[in-house]
Structure 1
Amino acid sequence: MTNQNIQSRQSWLITGFIFAILWPSAATATKVALKDAQPLVVAVFRFGIAATIMLFVSHVILENKLPQRKEWRQLAIYGLLNISVYLGMYVVAMKEVTASVGALTVAASPVFISFLSLIFLKKPMSPRILLALLVCISGFVVVAWPLFADASVTARGLALLLVSMFSYALGTIYFTSRQWESLHLLTINGWQTLLGGIFLLPFTLLTYKSDANLFSAGFWAGTLWLALPVSIAAVLLWLKLIKQDAVKAGLWLFLCPIFGIIIAAVLMDDPISLFTVGGLAMVLAGLAISHYDKKLSTPME
């Protein structure tokens, strides 16, 4: 093996491990920020910071072109599904579920995407995908089951989390089914994030309570982590992985729920019980069963 091959392999492994740690860390970072702020306040600040940075880099530094005509409509729809509905509902749901459950749900997103692709892309109905979805959802319930007793997880929170994942899957399918001409991915991600945040702003203002938002160090730490390492760095790392090898890149998603649970246990004291291990095994099994479409599995959070 040549030095170049060794360096390429090392770069692949480092990139993959960093992605697998950053992507599921969103659940714990969200819980940290939510200790001192309302859910939609966290979301709007996160999207505003991430979008401002991405658009500055895209249009000012890289001098990429602005979206044109129909692209604005596509960006608005994509932002509505992928940011406003998905992440808006996700952050509200995280108020009523543990970081472990949140990390598991996000890690299983390829299964939701594969399921909805059967419907919206008119692919042949696959019993394998239906089984994978059922196994993954059962895994979430198994992890959450012992937590219902002390209200660490509520039925409403779990339901919102699952509905949000369907919106994410629908948004991803919409993204892949549209022509984006020569728009840079940073431009697409920046504008859909900004537009999605703008759509959430009226709801944020209507529900805002000044005494519920302390804007503490914890709030800024969690929000900035969501905006920078998750919304920007993790997405760019994922794009780098699938550019090199889309098939092998998908294998890193199997590490995401493992790292997500570890991070939640260390930083949030989330319990790791036999239910946690069993539910994790079911989610991983669901991912393995699905053999998801690699073209539809790109995280764009």
Structure 2
Amino acid sequence: MFRGILFTILWASGAVSVKFGLLSSPPLTMGTIRFLLAGSLILLYVYLFRKGKYPLPQKREWKPLFLLGFFNTSMYLGCGFWALQTVSSGFFNLVVVVNPLLVALLSSIFTKRFIQKKEWLGMIVSAIGLIIATLPLLENSHSSLSGIFLLMIGMVSMAIGSVYFQKAKLQLPSLVINAWQVLFGGLILIVPSMVLEMGKPIVFDKNLIIYMLWSVLGVSIFAMVLWFYLLNQDAVKANIWLFLTPIAGYVLSFMLLGEEITKFDVIATLFVFTGLYLTGNLRLNISPRHRLEKKLGS
């Protein structure tokens, strides 16, 4: 549970940091620099500073790594960055709830995973909570249709990437997988960023520097390592933690941007935690039997 909460906070901080970065750079260019830098740093650590500990991918593993970079980095984050130029943060938070539902559907189709009734119920309850929190923001938002479409493409892409990762069963450490998929994602974005953002200025000021440092170290590296760990446990349950992203985002926005947390946010939080509890992700106590098993196994 701790890893899920930590991932949620780090992942939510990514959207806040993007807002700072967009003040100084076009979205795809900003993303390309971030992914290339993050991927290179992780590979430098893995294959130079920890030489001999981590294996190189085998021939059959390059294709899955490339596809993960395409789905989880280039498409999901690339579309998200581009959409945030014209889509309100409130609507962005609402669209996040689509991802766990898409993963559940795709998992039932492609991996034959049986989705339990309690998981469906928990996701629906969580989705209701996020709608309660987000609808007041939507009433005053100025989201564009193109931005909405891009967000949907990004969410579908991440859902595909999540299911594909589980199905691919890569025999590589999560750190190695993350390094290559982030690097491939940056390489894939080079051409689109050059074509779509040619002539747009980049200002290397404190906003861009803060964004790069936090997004590379906190989000692209540490959060993604946590993400792959959670996916290895269960792709559907891992994505359910994304339901908490808007709630964590509200708190971070309050702390960093001074935005007010309303009663709708509080009510939504109760719904979200109830949903997580129903799915089995959130356990308020440990049974005596589990405590005994844990003690014997330690």
Relative to the length of structure 2, the TM-score reads: 0.76
Q: Which amino acid aligns with 1:84?
A: S
User: Take 1:271 and 1:141, find their aligned partners in 2: how far apart are those partners?
Assistant: 18
Query: Does the aligned pair in 2 maintain the 1:107–1:257 contact within 8 Å?
Result: no
Question: How far did 1:201 drift?
Answer: 1.1
Q: Which amino acid aligns with 2:77?
A: L
User: Take 1:133 and 1:125, find their aligned partners in 2: how far apart are those partners?
Assistant: 11
Question: How far did 1:190 drift?
Answer: 0.6
User: Take 2:19 and 2:173, find their aligned partners in 1: how far apart are those partners?
Assistant: 32
User: Take 1:126 and 1:238, find their aligned partners in 2: how far apart are those partners?
Assistant: 22
- 1:141 and 1:250, CA in 2 relative to 1: closer, same or farther beyond 3 A? closer
Which is worse superposed, 271-280 or 234-243? 234-243
Aligned-pair RMSD on alpha carbons? Answer: 3.8
Quote the residue 1:44 is aligned against: 32
Which is worse superposed, 186-195 or 252-261? 252-261
Query: Does the aligned pair in 2 maintain the 1:78–1:175 contact within 8 Å?
Result: yes
Which is worse superposed, 69-78 or 135-144? 135-144
Could you list the per-position Cα deviations for residues 81-137 of structure 1 after superposition, in whole angstroms to 9, with x for gaps in the alignment? 111111111212222344465467558854543332122212346565555555555
Matched, 1:33 2:21: yes
- 1:155 and 1:242, CA in 2 relative to 1: closer, same or farther beyond 3 A? closer
- Once the two structures are superposed, the pairs formed by residues 1-301 of structure 1 within 5 Å of their partners are 19-63=7-51, 64-99=54-89, 102=92, 109-124=99-114, 129=119, 132=122, 134-151=124-141, 153-154=143-144, 156-181=146-171, 183-236=172-225, 256-291=245-280
Secondary structure class of the residue paired with 2:168: coil
User: Take 1:211 and 1:119, find their aligned partners in 2: how far apart are those partners?
Assistant: 43
Relative to the length of structure 1, the TM-score reads: 0.75
Query: Does the aligned pair in 1 maintain the 2:244–2:272 contact within 8 Å?
Result: no
User: Take 1:16 and 1:174, find their aligned partners in 2: how far apart are those partners?
Assistant: 20
Query: Does the aligned pair in 1 maintain the 2:130–2:268 contact within 8 Å?
Result: yes
Question: How far did 1:44 drift?
Answer: 0.6
Quote the residue 2:293 is aligned against: none
| Structure 1: tracts of 5 or more residues without a match | 1-11, 293-301
Query: Does the aligned pair in 2 maintain the 1:114–1:290 contact within 8 Å?
Result: no
Give identity over the alignment, percent.
Answer: 32
- 1:18 and 1:276, CA in 2 relative to 1: closer, same or farther beyond 3 A? closer
Query: Does the aligned pair in 2 maintain the 1:100–1:270 contact within 8 Å?
Result: no
Which is worse superposed, 159-168 or 144-153? 144-153
User: Take 1:166 and 1:221, find their aligned partners in 2: how far apart are those partners?
Assistant: 29
Which is worse superposed, 25-34 or 157-166? 157-166
Question: How far did 1:62 drift?
Answer: 1.8
Query: Does the aligned pair in 2 maintain the 1:97–1:154 contact within 8 Å?
Result: yes
Query: Does the aligned pair in 2 maintain the 1:104–1:280 contact within 8 Å?
Result: no
